[in-house]
Structure 1
Amino acid sequence: MSEGSLLDNGSLSSQELSPSTSVKNIEDIARALGVSKSTVSRAISGKGRISPETRERIRSFIEQQGFQINRIAKGLAEARTYNIAVTMPSDTEVQEIPFFQTCLHAIAETLSRSEYDTVVAVTTEHDIASLKRLIRYRKVDGVIHTRPLTTDRSIEFLKEQSLPFVVIGSVADLSVVQVDSDHREACKNATLHLLRQDFSRQVLLAGNPHHQVNKDRYEGYRLALTEGGIKEVKEFFQVPTDLRQLPLQEGYPLVFWNATSKTVLEELIHHILPQGPQCIIGMDDVITAKALHILHRYKVRIPDDVAVVSFHDSTTMEQHLPPISAVHVEIQKLGSLAATLLIDMLEGRKIDAIHRLKADFVIRDSSRAVQKDSTVAMQPSNIGFFKGGLS
């Protein structure tokens, strides 16, 4: 009888197999022991007709190979990979955004405690090929999708595949399991903080209007303006041809979408400063950090000349001199909760679809009240930082 073959009673022969045998999946186990894949599956799952001796021999062999019965072997039987995909946008700015790094770390840490591994799928607004490959080749058991778009191909694809997934962010489909911070309320509070100081000459440097998080932040911003009696804003989706004719001095807040590159921000700030803005708001910490760098080069005094607020907090905002007032969200809690919810889904536990975490507006020195004559602040000749342009 060959090594590892079955006896007449269905049990394995008593001869030991070498632990050095290369075993990577259920098929390798079956081949090494000279049994069928279904026999191995029954031994691992504990279901089906199989002798106690055969079950014990198979399980012992798996353990000898370094597998863990409660994870790898069970995964083989249940066709699980114990891998979770996390989608990450491929924007060049992403590497500069601490949010994604912190969130990914929290996800991976939480998943690892349940013996799941993390696989990153890089996607764009128009290209989700990497995500499709992972799912079509059954390399992952579920997906955590970050930064949803107003029209999101990844979400539509995941719904079609009937694969468990959780979104970090807000989506209109309330059947989708989603975890987000209350951006609307926090950004509303941030804007009201400025309006209480009679800062109506506001400039909002916004990001991509197709990102749902930017839409949510903007809705909170507009709610505050309406509450403060400001019903009209001037929105621009590209740099205006004549930046000298902006109606900032008329009391209209200005909103510049897609103001993410240093070149665009440089041009906007260069023409906005002479018009005497009372405050500049960055839609996120990266935009705000770039704007602060330009303002510093113009020798702008914050908040004496211009108040600055960010709709997203980070250590960069906190450690800036002066510290920047910002909307603070619990990034680690977002990532950890998303991972926990996905594990619950995979284990068949019942969960709620909508989860909202509180976000806080943290007031720091960059937006504190400053006693000054607002009519003087509007005159470029009286703003020392703008004389002579960049230094």
Structure 2
Amino acid sequence: MAGKRDEVTIAEVAEALNISKTTVSRAISGKGRVSEATRARVFDYIGKGRQDAAAPLRTAQQGPTNNLALVIPKHFMRLDLPFLRKCMGGVWNMAAQRGYDLLLCYAGETDVGQLERQLESHKVDGVILSRTMLHDECVQTLQRYNVPFVAIGRVDDDKVPQVDNDQVGATAEMTRLLLQLGMRRIAYMGGCTNYTVNEDRLRGYLRGFSDCGVQVDQKLIWTGIETSEQRIDALEGALEQKPECLLCADDSMAAAVLQELRARHIKVPEQVKLASFYDSELLTSSTPQISAAQFDGERLGATACRMLLDILAGKQIALRQMQGYQVILRESTK
């Protein structure tokens, strides 16, 4: 093809081959259901002999939309979790100050269809990920589309702009403090470790034991808790091991565990102590008030949004930023 550009757009390939833009994107990434014949046609069109090479596709150049997208895990669709609410507030306020609107986008572990549609239709100038996973489909999609984005949470890629709370430091300190109070049988109850925040909290728990020279009883570690049934099963399993303290990975789990203990007529802190790796009004308004690691969710969201807006403005930023914390011991661990 005489005078063919080095770059073609996804839309151009889709139109030329009479297939959808989503199909073109999936053919390039190797993700999703695309026949080998279709994939071969796509790579033949863009002039690549190797299907493992990075395809020189880009989205069409358009003017700014003054919209940002905040990507939220599908299982957070209720939007009533304290962390998510505060984080969204920080993002929204910072965006509004700079003249941007905020669009919400939901994504599953492997389902990034809504995000792809927003990117394909050029609805947003940049994206903020509210949570990160070990093998993050959203990160890969955004890198493929070459769209500016910032991740809230850890991403194991130094080139990805990211901001996070010091999860490992906070959880290690909480664990050390409980050990220094004389507790030894401290049970851990956490969510799926595919999410980096849950993996980091477990790492902090283990580091706290290591720092104090105390061996961890693996029978006291319960992970992968995502449903109420799994939480009850984990609680029952932990209680069978006669723990001195139940250490929950977040506020919603700690509040639910407190309610379940109350239903079983198990007194906190007299019979078992309780603490959380994340603080919120759920824990400060409970009886007893629950010990927790405290982070500033609104500041975290605002920082992520500021980073993204600075990137869009062409400014240099620190690609990895870490927020502080405070560990607060309350009645539940006395």
Same fold (TM over 0.5): yes
Q: Within 1, Cα distance between the matches of 2:265 and 2:246? A: 15
Deviation at 1:342, TM superposition (A): 0.8
Deviation at 1:289, TM superposition (A): 1.2
Deviation at 1:299, TM superposition (A): 1.7
User: 2:56 matched to 1:90?
Assistant: no
Give CA deviations for 1:144-202 in whole Å, capped at 9, x if unaligned: 01110011011011112211111111111111111111111110010011111221112
- Alignment partner, residue 221 of structure 1: 205
Helix, strand or coil for the counterpart of 1:281? strand
Q: Verify the 8 A CA contact 2:77 2:106 in the aligned structure 1.
A: no
- Alignment partner, residue 129 of structure 1: 113
User: 2:150 matched to 1:184?
Assistant: no
1:278-317 alignment, distance < 5 Å: 278-317=244-283
User: 2:296 matched to 1:330?
Assistant: yes
Deviation at 1:275, TM superposition (A): 4.2
Q: Partner letter of residue 211 of structure 1?
A: Y
Q: Within 2, Cα distance between the matches of 1:209 and 1:94? A: 22
| Number of aligned residues | 274
Partner of residue 103 from structure 2, selected from 104, 110, 119: 119
Q: Within 1, Cα distance between the matches of 2:172 and 2:238? A: 24
Q: Within 1, Cα distance between the matches of 2:77 and 2:239? A: 25
Q: Partner letter of residue 367 of structure 1?
A: T
Q: Which structure has the bigger radius of gyration?
A: 1
1:6-155 alignment, distance < 5 Å: 79-91=63-75, 95-155=79-139
Q: Within 2, Cα distance between the matches of 1:134 and 1:259? A: 31
- Alignment partner, residue 18 of structure 1: none
Q: Within 1, Cα distance between the matches of 2:249 and 2:77? A: 14
Helix, strand or coil for the counterpart of 1:179? strand
Q: Partner letter of residue 287 of structure 2?
A: L
Helix, strand or coil for the counterpart of 1:155? helix
Q: Verify the 8 A CA contact 1:94 1:100 in the aligned structure 2.
A: no
- Alignment partner, residue 9 of structure 2: none
1:301 to 1:93, Cα distance in 2 relative to 1, 3 A: farther
Helix, strand or coil for the counterpart of 1:204? strand
Q: Within 2, Cα distance between the matches of 1:217 and 1:227? A: 15
Helix, strand or coil for the counterpart of 2:129? strand
Q: Within 2, Cα distance between the matches of 1:338 and 1:101? A: 15
Q: Within 2, Cα distance between the matches of 1:145 and 1:198? A: 40
Give CA deviations for 1:320-344 in whole Å, capped at 9, x if unaligned: 1111000111101111111111111
Q: Within 1, Cα distance between the matches of 2:131 and 2:212? A: 30
Deviation at 1:206, TM superposition (A): 0.8
TM-score normalised to structure 1 length: 0.67
- Alignment partner, residue 11 of structure 2: none
- Alignment partner, residue 269 of structure 1: 235
Partner of residue 322 from structure 2, selected from 343, 356, 381: 356
1:233 to 1:171, Cα distance in 2 relative to 1, 3 A: farther
- Alignment partner, residue 150 of structure 2: 166
TM-score normalised to structure 2 length: 0.78
Give CA deviations for 1:23-62 in whole Å, capped at 9, x if unaligned: xxxxxxxxxxxxxxxxxxxxxxxxxxxxxxxxxxxxxxxx
Root-mean-square deviation (CA, aligned residues, Å) is 1.7
- Where does structure 2 lack aligned partners over 5 or more consecutive residues? 1-60
> Per chain length, whose mean CA-contact separation is higher, i.e. which structure has more relative contact order (CA < 8 Å, sep 6+)?
2
Q: Partner letter of residue 154 of structure 1?
A: C
Q: Partner letter of residue 191 of structure 1?
A: T
Q: Within 1, Cα distance between the matches of 2:238 and 2:98? A: 52
Moved more, 129-138 or 94-103: 94-103
Deviation at 1:271, TM superposition (A): 4.8
Q: Within 2, Cα distance between the matches of 1:110 and 1:321? A: 35
Deviation at 1:283, TM superposition (A): 0.7
Helix, strand or coil for the counterpart of 2:266? coil
Give CA deviations for 1:208-245 in whole Å, capped at 9, x if unaligned: 110000111111111111122234442xxxxxxxxxxx
Deviation at 1:104, TM superposition (A): 0.9
